[in-house]
Structure 1
Amino acid sequence: MSDNLESYWVKEGTEIICDQAFYRCYMLKNFYMPNSIIAIGKEAFTDCYRLSEIKLSENLTDIGVSAFELCSNLSSVYISDLVAWCKIEFVDYLSNPLSSAHHLFLNGEEIKDLVIPKEITKIRDNTFSGCSELTSVTIDDNVTSIGNGAFSDCTSLTSITVPGSVTKIDGCAFSGCTGLTSVSLPSGLTSIASNMFYGCSALTSITIPNNVVSINERAFYWCRGLTTVTIPNSVVCIGDNAFDGCASLTSIDIPNSVTSIVNGAFYGCSSLASINIPNSVTSIGESAFRGCTSLFLETSEQPQTMENI
């Protein structure tokens, strides 16, 4: 496609925008997409940095890798069907135009208070990632799972209640939600996935549901406002760097169910003054408490295998 192209109208009846179709069309400002489009290929609009807004097809189902990467001037995404939007398969974070635009408009009105439609049972990967003006989310109890990065970088989101129908939340689901202060998690959850709350610096407390078995790597990484964590007696393992950088955390009780505290689990928790480690813990990984300059360790008994703290 010509580098000097400023406007482009896709012919009605066209179904696919091919891989790299408008790759580095630096002058492209206006793009018109018919509702016949069902897929956008990888890197289709990469580096179209003059493109300021885009209206997506109602029938779009798939967007390829990095389709909207480096669209630095993109500020608005327009849709006419929220159910259709929730069913789009975003291959990665940069396939979602919100990664650049941050503002999602439904029938001309910006979405700030999101209500997930009743037709939706799964919130897919990256569906609302980067939607920085989103302030609240209501999730219907028809939803059973929340995908990877589904609400990542929703920086204006302050609280969220996940209904009891949800049994799985994938990694990075709320990562980068820097305004998030409170979260209510469902009782059916069995793990806190990797990077789930990575960088949620305003989060002050969290109660982990009673059926959770593992708190995975970097689950609460750099949650610098986190002061209180309640870990239930179902948790067996606290993963790599799970609470790394939680500088406001002052104390924590490890339940008798925990058998291992993995590498860097509480690295850099500089306000952590006391922690009770039960005799069920048989291994503590390298640097698990490094940088915990205020820490006093309380142990029921010496763990059977104490690696380098």
Structure 2
Amino acid sequence: MSGVYDRHSKSLLKVVSPCSKHFEIENQTYHICDYAFFRNFDIESLTFSENLRSIGSKSLYGCKNLEVVFPKNAMIESIGDCAFMNCKSLKEIGFIDSVQFLGRSVFAGMDKLESIKLPKDLRRIPEFTFFECESLKDVEIPESVSVIESFSFQHTAITHLTIPNRVVKLGDAVFSRCFQFEQVTLPNRLKVIPERTFSSCKYLREIEIPKSVNTIMKEAFDGTESLTTVRFHGKVEHIDDTAFKDSGLETVIVPFWAKSYYKKVFPNLTIKSAIL
């Protein structure tokens, strides 16, 4: 199997003989260019060169039969938009320990991906990163992450998750349609729970809202039919009327000094006070 190679930039530009099942990238290659393997349905395994540092946008998009990637000690620093999107047979991502930048939708649509440990220096989880990774159950988010963008974990199989306390911002619908989601620990610096954050998480049973949160936006917990209890650690100044639409919410536990406030917000629910 061969490709077009730019010696000046040390980049693999394009694969030109798409019939081989295995491709090994030569050691002098530092970069895989955009669209290099785009929708290559024949490739089943890929070996990175040890000098590879970056993977371009959509470089392996739609390689639906790619099953194995051998990192060969590669120290990859960045992966572009949609680079592995719809690689539906790829089960493991064992080549991102050194990554500092991920583009949007990098691993979206990887049907067989079950677990991942994100790199320790990652600062941001971009939009749609694991969108529709319907087998993804176990995710370890590093303490370095401060922003998790919209739809990044939508329709995954996550059941339990602790979001690091450094996270100050979530995007819309980050965990929506995570039908197996049962338990989540929110960071204590979060100010806003955005629109549809946990919508349709039908097995989410209980959640604690940190003292830092001042806004819960529309449909944030819409369709959480198993959610019966919410514990508020502070006074949330704005809770949209639809925030808990079609949830199973029955009981709200609040600080004793805020009980009268929450009685007005939730006039039809049981309000209990506690020292939180």
- Which position in structure 2 is the counterpart of 1:247? 202
The TM-score normalised by the length of structure 1 is 0.69
How far 1:298 moved relative to its partner? Answer: 2.9
Deviates more, 1:266-275 or 1:289-298: 289-298
> Within 1, Cα distance between the matches of 2:43 and 2:20?
5
**Equivalent residues in 2 for 1:74-223, closer than 5 Å:** 75-77=41-43, 82=48, 87-90=54-57, 95=58, 98-99=61-62, 101-104=63-66, 110-111=67-68, 115=71, 118-200=74-156, 202-223=157-178
Q: Which amino acid aligns with 1:224?
A: F
Unaligned runs of 5+ in 2: 7-11, 26-30, 269-276
Matches of 1:222 and 1:97, distance apart in 2: 26
2:93 aligned counterpart, secondary structure: strand
Distance between the aligned counterparts of 1:261 and 1:36, measured in 2? Answer: 51
In structure 2, give the amino acid aligned to 1:236. K
- Do the aligned partners of residues 303 and 124 (structure 1) sit closer, same or farther apart at CA in structure 2, a change above 3 Å counting? farther
Report if the CA contact (8 A) 1:139-1:162 is conserved. no
More deviation in 245-254 or 126-135? 126-135
Paired residue type of 2:4: N
Amino acid at match of 2:167: V
Which residue identity lines up with residue 292 of structure 1 in the other structure?
A: S
Q: Which residue of 2 aligns with 1:35?
A: 4
Structure 2 distance, partners of 1:158, 1:283, is: 37
1:115 CA drift (Å) = 4.1
CA distance in 2, matches of 1:78, 1:133: 9
Distance 1:137 1:236 in 2: 32
Bigger CA drift: 132-141 or 224-233?
132-141
Conserved in 1, the CA contact under 8 Å of 2:196 and 2:221? Answer: yes
C-alpha distance in 1, partners of 2:159/2:141? 15
1:305 positional shift: 9.7
Q: Could you tell me the percent identity over the aligned residues?
A: 25
Counterpart residue identity of residue 68, structure 2: I
Q: Is the 8 A contact 1:160 1:182 kept in 2?
A: yes
Q: Alpha carbons of 1:294 and 1:283: their partners in 2 closer, same or farther (altered >3 Å)?
A: closer
Distance 1:224 1:233 in 2: 25
Contact in 2 for aligned 1:234/1:257 (Cα 8 Å):
yes
Alpha-carbon deviation of 1:129? 1.2
User: What is the RMSD computed on CA atoms of the aligned residues?
Assistant: 3.4
Distance 2:145 2:228 in 1: 30
Question: Please, what TM-score do these two structures have when normalized by structure 2?
Answer: 0.76
- Give the aligned residue type for 1:76: D
Report 1:65-80 matches (<5 A): 75-77=41-43
- Work out the number of aligned pairs and report it: 248
CA contact (8 A) 1:283 1:303 kept: no
Q: Show the counterpart of 2:33.
A: 61
- Say if 2:61 and 2:87, in contact at 8 Å, map to a contact too: yes
Match of 2:182 in 1: 227
Give the Cα–Cα distance (whole angstroms) in 1 for the partners of residues 161 and 240 of structure 2: 24
The residue type paired with residue 33 of structure 2 is T
Contact 1:282–1:304 (Cα < 8 Å) also in 2: no
